Amino acid sequence: DAGVIQSPRHEVTEMGQEVTLRCKPISGHDYLFWYRQTMMRGLELLIYFNNNVPIDDSGMPEDRFSAKMPNASFSTLKIQPSEPRDSAVYFCASSSQGALSYNEQFFGPGTRLTVL
Amino acid sequence: QKEVEQNSGPLSVPEGAIASLNCTYSDRGSQSFFWYRQYSGKSPELIMSIYSNGDKEDGRFTAQLNKASQYVSLLIRDSQPSDSATYLCDITGNQFYFGTGTSLTVIP
C-alpha cells in the first residue's frame, strides 16, 4: 500500500484566498483524521471521520474551516478565506478499529501551508 | 486540566544513556496507548503501542502503562544520536488525545 497520500505538499497563498487540502487514506481504514501542527500549539486534532461520517469537529477553529469525506478514499479540508494565522503543517491520518481497541494512526507526509 | 500532560522537555541525554519520557492522562475510558516519533520536518511515525497494564519491550524501547495511576511512559535504552526527535504520546478511547511532545536530543 502507498500509505496515506496528501496533496499538495506545499501551498503558498495570499490572505483571503481559498485553500483546499486533499487526502487519500489507506485502503480499508475506516477512520480519517485531520490535524494541524504549529510550534506554538503542537499537534491539534481538527476533525475526524468514521466510515465517511464526521464524528467530532470540535477542533475546527472557526467557520472558515470545513472538511468533507465524500467516499472512503478521499477527503478534503478547505479554508475560506485563508488568513496568515492559518499557516501551519496540516496532516491527514487514517486508522482502523480492532476488535477490542483502536489501532495506531498512519500519517501522511503533510501539507505545509503558508498564507501571506 | 489538559486531557494529556506530557513532560515538555527539551530532554538531553548522553549517547548510551536511558531516556525516559512520560505522559499522564485524565480519561479513564482510554483503551489504547501509542508512542510516536517525529523527526524535524517529517510526519509522526508509530514506535510503540500498549493496551494493558505492565511493560512492553521492543528492542531498545520499553513502554510502561499504569491505568490506575493514569500514566504511560517510554524508556529508550542505549540512546543513539538517531533517536534525537520529538516523541508524542497518543491516548485513545472515548476520544483521541495527543500530547504536546517531548523533544529529545542524544549527545554523542
Q: Give one DSSP letter per residue of B22-42, joined into a string.
A: EEEE--TT--EEEEEEE-TTS
Span A44-90, pLDDT tens digits = 999 999 999 999 999 998 899 999 999 999 999 999 999 999 999 99
B interface with A, Cβ–Cβ < 8 A, is 31-32, 34, 42-46, 49, 51, 88, 90, 92-93, 95-96, 98-101
Phi-psi bin for A110: left (phi > 0), alpha (psi -120 to 50), beta? left
Instruction: State whether A91 and B32 contact (CB < 8 Å).
Output: no
Nearest to B48 by CA among B77, B69, B13: B77
CB-nearest to B98 from A45, A100, A104 is A45
Q: Which three cell numbers stand for residue A72?
A: 472512503
Q: Which three cell numbers stand for residue B53?
A: 497494564
In tens digits, chain B (108 residues) has pLDDT values of: 668 888 878 999 999 999 999 999 998 888 899 999 999 999 999 999 999 999 999 999 999 999 999 999 999 999 999 999 999 999 988 788 889 899 999 999
* Residue in B49, B96, B97 to test binding to A, most A beta-carbons within 10 Å: B96
